[in-house]
Structure 1
Amino acid sequence: MPIFNQSIRRKIVGIALGLIVLMLVTSILSMVMSSKVGVLLDELTNRYIPAYGHLARANIRSLERALALRRMVMTKMQSPSDEEAYAARVREFEQTDRRIEEEAESARTLINAIINDPRTPSDNAALARIELRIETAVTELRRDLTEDHAKLAKQVDARQMAEARGTLEHIDVLRDQFNQKIDAIRADMLAQVFFSTSQVISHQHQAIIVSGIVTLLAAIVGFAFALLVSSGITRPVRLLLAGTREVEAGRFDKPITVSTQDEIGELAAAFNRMIEQLRHNERIRETFGRYIDPKVVQGLIDRPEVAIDGQRRVMTIMFCDMSGFTSMSEGVTPRGLVKVMNHYFTVMSGPIRSNRGIIDKYIGDAIMCYWGPPFIEEDEQAMLAGLAAIEMADQVPALQKQLPDLLGIRAMPAPCDLRIGIATGEVLTGSIGSELMMSFTVMGDAVNLASRLEAANKAYGTRVLVSQATADAIGSQLELREIDRVAVAGQRAPQAVFEVMGKAGALTDTQARLRTHYAEGLAAYRAGHFDDARAAFNAALEAVPGDGPSRTLLGRIVQFEVNPPDVGWDGAWRLEQK
């Protein structure tokens, strides 16, 4: 067909023009029907409902009028008579009396506007009857009340209270009769409001149905037209795609067939020339992996200046390391080691991600991650890091059972465990690297301290150690145990370090006794009362045999008995190893 021999531009323009024509037809029809619904809705909101509101207020005005009349009579009957106040009451009564007719007249005006509007299918006969009934009710009320008002005025001037009371009661009867008539008219008017509402809804549904049908027809016609025209484009594109997949698979010996004379045909010819060139060149594959947390990516997209300039923020840093990794790696094949490490990183990364932490990098068998703004609020970062550490430690027993199965051996050549260090402090956040690769990371003393605390677990036989700042931020939200005052490598000033024992309220009785005895021993140890400290630490070991910190400090006491500490010893221990 001639249409298939045209250029892609003409094919696409033809499809677009056809769809635009169909869209215009559908839009014009929808606009016409929507305008009709708009007229009906405008009449409902600006005429029917306000007319009904005026009738409702006419009832209220009649009650206000009766109240004003009684106030006028009561003012006249006062002794001595206050003519000025009486005149004010008379003006108030006359103003209220006029409002009844104003409300009725406003309702009649709106009803007549509905009747005179030829654009809407209103029940003009019923509306005309309502308008006439309103006029009749107001006229009869005015006729009946004129005589009674004159009579009441004479009786009030003559101070004939009994006769005035009777006249007021008769006026109330006339008022009630008027209200009953207005109520009946309102009921009929409400029926007209409901009728108009149903008309609006009906036309709206009709417009939706017709628009849907026309849109569906336009879509079918447009799809058929587009399918017919695009069939001449898709076949050569599929051939080109098949050739691309061959190249992707590394096969350069299958050129594609050039079946058209348009731009795709030219592209196919250029593709064949490219294959011919690739056939004479060495194929090079570069593997480049760059993994970064999605939250970091989104943060850098939203605020790219953070990556360029860097910022100082208070963050909580965690280092996690697998103990026994070196011994294990010596007796494991490279494939088995990769399998183990992938499983280990998967298991340990889960609690970090679930507690909204950012994994910065994997360093050998270690994981570095952090918590802090702008990814989470500053006041919750330490708590989330502590929870992540607890959940990671809870995974250790299952991991120890899984590792032999992963390696296909009966038992691990060396025991594996987990060491975690957490520190909170001000760090510098920003992108560090070269022009070829950048990494959004954190740097500072808190990072170094977290790394040192992870290593300090070896000295104390613990799994999770946190810094003083982290412990202060956690407060009572987790169960902590002060382990020692330590000056890690690279820092002169010692600070307290704490062990995360569990979630708040989750300690067993033995763990509670362990913490109590250990605290007593630590206090005696710092005071230099080593006999009392030894007794307390032994009591802690009786509660939890094998408690690493208790055994570590008992070993120090033995050393201090041989080489007592210097005068002015502050109770701190200095870790020289990194």
Structure 2
Amino acid sequence: MRVFQVTVPVYGGRKVPQSQLPKFAMPIFNQSIRRKIVGIALGLIVLMVITSILSMVMSSRVGHLLDELTNRYIPAYGDLARANVRSLERALAMRRMVIAKTQTPPDEEGYASRLREYRESDALIVKEAEGARKLINAIIEDESTPSDNAALGRIDARIESALSELRRELTEADAKLLRQLEAKDFAATRDTMVHVDALRDLFTQRVDAIRSDMLAQVFASTAQVIRHQRQAIVISGVVTALAAIVGLAFAILVSSGITRPVRLLLAGTREVEAGHFDHTISVSTKDEIGELAAAFNRMIEQLRRNERIRETFGRYIDPKVVQGLIDRPEVAVDGQRRVMTIMFCDMSGFTSMSEGMTPRGLVKVMNHYFTVMSEPIRANRGVIDKYIGDAIMSYWGPPFIEEAEQAQLACHAALDMADQVPALQKQLPDLLGIRAMPAPCDLRIGIATGEVLTGSIGSELMMSFTVMGDAVNLASRLEAANKFYGTRILISQATAAALGASLELREIDRLAVAGQSLPQPVFEVMGKAGALPQEQVSLRARYAEGLAAYRAGRWDEARNAFNAALERVPGDGPSRTLLTRLEQLQANPPAADWDGAWRMEHK
């Protein structure tokens, strides 16, 4: 037996010499795996906090610059622009005043209105200019942000000069113009207007120059914000990369102390993977590695046990049977009585179809048929018991599924199998390389629910976990009864009772199959609940009326009802069967104590 060892510095109260220690048993790695992982996490958290703090500081700096740009630079430029607009509005109001006075007769009311606009514009010019100066001075006084204070100071001085000098001259000229208008000295007014226009153009030029310089300062501040933002991104990226590198290096250093002993476990795992279950790992540590080694040894023991069980039960067909018997091996030996649902499925026309095929073609068809029909059974959690010629026997029930859902799953599987028939009929000629099948193929399915015996039957060389009982016999007989009634899926009364209203059913007859003396109702599965076409619903109603009249001996009434059913669905097998039977009963009336049941004497 190969042994893999994992050791620690102290074992059994005795110190192990340093030369005999594995390389991974260094003091830095003697802590538990939990502490190592927590240490890595704490280190990464510290690095993350440092990175976040730096990012916050840089973002705060950029935010402060954006705040200054938004709340000071841009509003100051806006105030200057509005001061220029007010100056133009003032000049326009002056010209309208001149026009109002020079009209014949003079528009005194218009003149007074324009005079008010003129004076209001004058006050607004001062207000806007002072607002710009106040914001510029606020920028200069704020030492927390870098700015070209010298250029801003020059702009402030130029605004003050424009307001104090040029505007004073312009105001004096405007006052002179107003006196001339009042005196109606229009010749002098024209000369004064030329002088006023020259002063106003000079004022506008200076304001435009100031605005241009202020706009340059706005652009400079914007460039500064962008530069700081890029700088913050670069610094954050560098710090994040450094944190990642340091954290990765630390994680590699610590994790290497974990991975080295784990490699011993990996070597043992590879032995198990190769199918060698005789190798165990010597447990000589008390940390998580030691616990893992102990669990590994327990796993190997369980694998040995499962391997023996699989060798015992590996001859069963369905994987769920093998797994179920592994989980509960006592079932295979003792056997149990359980309520289960049994299904028999047969291919109709198999005998005539097989006569015209070569053995190779027949095997190919049957393999494909079994593959297609087995899938719905497996998909609905059924267990395939065996293949008998062209028939499939399967069952549902404990311990593989709950008893309450077995009937519904079995019938859903039957419907899914029936849905595969059209595709199967198209596929079979292609498989054989012929134009058409020599005989049509279809399904006959019988389902019964009842108490059966489950257990292992067979010899020492070959065993089968199967089910036996009256329910098995009844399901087989119901499958054969489909041929007699022209139906596809027939179920027993117990199965129908377990279904409730989950599927659409039609009572076909009270039938005593071969091997049973007591008759019972049998039902046809027509489809899923709520999915029946209207003609099928009408067919079921007419058939039920005919069946009731038939059991009461009202032959004419029964014949009319069955004929009405055939009008709804021509070719309905049960209706045709009961009509044929009516002819026989009318020719040979039953006994007085007839119970309305039909007894099948043959399989």
Q: In which range does the TM-score fall when normalised by the shorter chain?
A: 0.5 to 0.7
TM-score (norm 1): 0.55
Specify the alignment match of 1:127 in structure 2: none
The range that moved more, 211-220 or 303-312, is 211-220
Specify the alignment match of 1:328 in structure 2: 353
Superimposed CA distance per residue, residues 6-39 of structure 1 (whole angstroms, 9 cap, x where no aligned partner): xx989x899x99997133238735449939979x
Specify the alignment match of 2:556 in structure 1: 531
CA distance in 2, matches of 1:298, 1:539: 52
Conserved? CA contact 2:315–2:463, under 8 Å: no
Superimposed CA distance per residue, residues 479-516 of structure 1 (whole angstroms, 9 cap, x where no aligned partner): 00000000000000000000000000000000001000
**1:381 equivalenced with 2:382 (yes/no):** no
**1:369 equivalenced with 2:394 (yes/no):** yes
Superimposed CA distance per residue, residues 167-193 of structure 1 (whole angstroms, 9 cap, x where no aligned partner): xxxxxxxxxxxxxxxxxxxxxxxxxxx
Shift of 1:222: 10
CA distance in 1, matches of 2:446, 2:348: 13
**1:404 equivalenced with 2:429 (yes/no):** yes
Specify the alignment match of 1:522 in structure 2: 547
Specify the alignment match of 2:455 in structure 1: 430
Superimposed CA distance per residue, residues 109-158 of structure 1 (whole angstroms, 9 cap, x where no aligned partner): xxxxxxxxxxxxxxxxxxxxxxxxxxxxxxxxxxxxxxxxxxxxxxxxxx
The one-letter code matched in structure 1 to 2:439 is: A
> Quick one: which of 341, 344, 352 aligns to 1:319?
344
Bigger CA radius of gyration: 2
Specify the alignment match of 2:328 in structure 1: 303
Conserved? CA contact 1:421–1:454, under 8 Å: yes
Shift of 1:565: 0.9
Conserved? CA contact 1:423–1:447, under 8 Å: yes
Shift of 1:576: 1.1
CA distance in 2, matches of 1:363, 1:19: 67
**1:455 equivalenced with 2:456 (yes/no):** no
The one-letter code matched in structure 2 to 1:577 is: H
Shift of 1:334: 1.0
> Quick one: which of 237, 250, 272 aligns to 1:210?
250
Q: Alpha carbons of 1:542 and 1:295: their partners in 2 closer, same or farther (altered >3 Å)?
A: same
Specify the alignment match of 2:417 in structure 1: 392
CA distance in 2, matches of 1:394, 1:36: 56
Shift of 1:333: 0.9
Secondary structure of residue in 2 paired with 1:23 = coil
CA distance in 1, matches of 2:27, 2:391: 63
Secondary structure of residue in 1 paired with 2:517 = coil
Shift of 1:402: 1.0
- Structure-to-structure mapping, 1:15-30, within 5 angstroms: 21-25=22-26, 28-30=29-31
CA distance in 2, matches of 1:398, 1:558: 38
Specify the alignment match of 2:533 in structure 1: 508
Q: Alpha carbons of 1:26 and 1:292: their partners in 2 closer, same or farther (altered >3 Å)?
A: farther
Q: Alpha carbons of 1:210 and 1:452: their partners in 2 closer, same or farther (altered >3 Å)?
A: same
Q: Alpha carbons of 1:23 and 1:528: their partners in 2 closer, same or farther (altered >3 Å)?
A: farther
CA distance in 2, matches of 1:471, 1:567: 30
Conserved? CA contact 1:26–1:211, under 8 Å: no
> Quick one: which of 522, 532, 540 aligns to 1:497?
522
TM-score (norm 2): 0.53
Specify the alignment match of 1:476 in structure 2: 501
**1:488 equivalenced with 2:489 (yes/no):** no
> Quick one: which of 562, 574, 578 aligns to 2:599?
574
The one-letter code matched in structure 1 to 2:26 is: V
The one-letter code matched in structure 2 to 1:213 is: L
Conserved? CA contact 1:29–1:211, under 8 Å: no
The one-letter code matched in structure 2 to 1:352 is: I
Conserved? CA contact 2:457–2:463, under 8 Å: yes
Conserved? CA contact 1:432–1:439, under 8 Å: yes
Shift of 1:217: 7.9
Shift of 1:413: 1.0
**Structure 2 spans left out of the alignment, 5+ residues:** 9-17, 43-242, 268-312
Conserved? CA contact 2:421–2:443, under 8 Å: yes
Conserved? CA contact 2:345–2:444, under 8 Å: yes
> Quick one: which of 410, 417, 428 aligns to 2:442?
417
Shift of 1:409: 1.1
Shift of 1:293: 1.6
Conserved? CA contact 1:517–1:540, under 8 Å: yes
CA distance in 2, matches of 1:326, 1:418: 13
Superimposed CA distance per residue, residues 56-75 of structure 1 (whole angstroms, 9 cap, x where no aligned partner): xxxxxxxxxxxxxxxxxxxx
Q: What's the RMSD between the two structures over aligned residues?
A: 3.6
The one-letter code matched in structure 1 to 2:582 is: I
- Structure-to-structure mapping, 1:198-347, within 5 angstroms: 210=250, 212-216=252-256, 290-347=315-372
Q: Alpha carbons of 1:211 and 1:33: their partners in 2 closer, same or farther (altered >3 Å)?
A: farther
Q: Alpha carbons of 1:31 and 1:322: their partners in 2 closer, same or farther (altered >3 Å)?
A: closer
The range that moved more, 451-460 or 400-409, is 400-409
Shift of 1:305: 0.7
Percentage of pairs with the same residue: 73
CA distance in 1, matches of 2:445, 2:586: 32
Shift of 1:219: 5.6
CA distance in 2, matches of 1:221, 1:441: 49
CA distance in 2, matches of 1:479, 1:347: 24
CA distance in 1, matches of 2:462, 2:427: 36
Specify the alignment match of 2:185 in structure 1: none
CA distance in 1, matches of 2:444, 2:333: 34
How many positions carry a matched residue from both structures?
346
Specify the alignment match of 2:67 in structure 1: none
Conserved? CA contact 1:26–1:214, under 8 Å: no
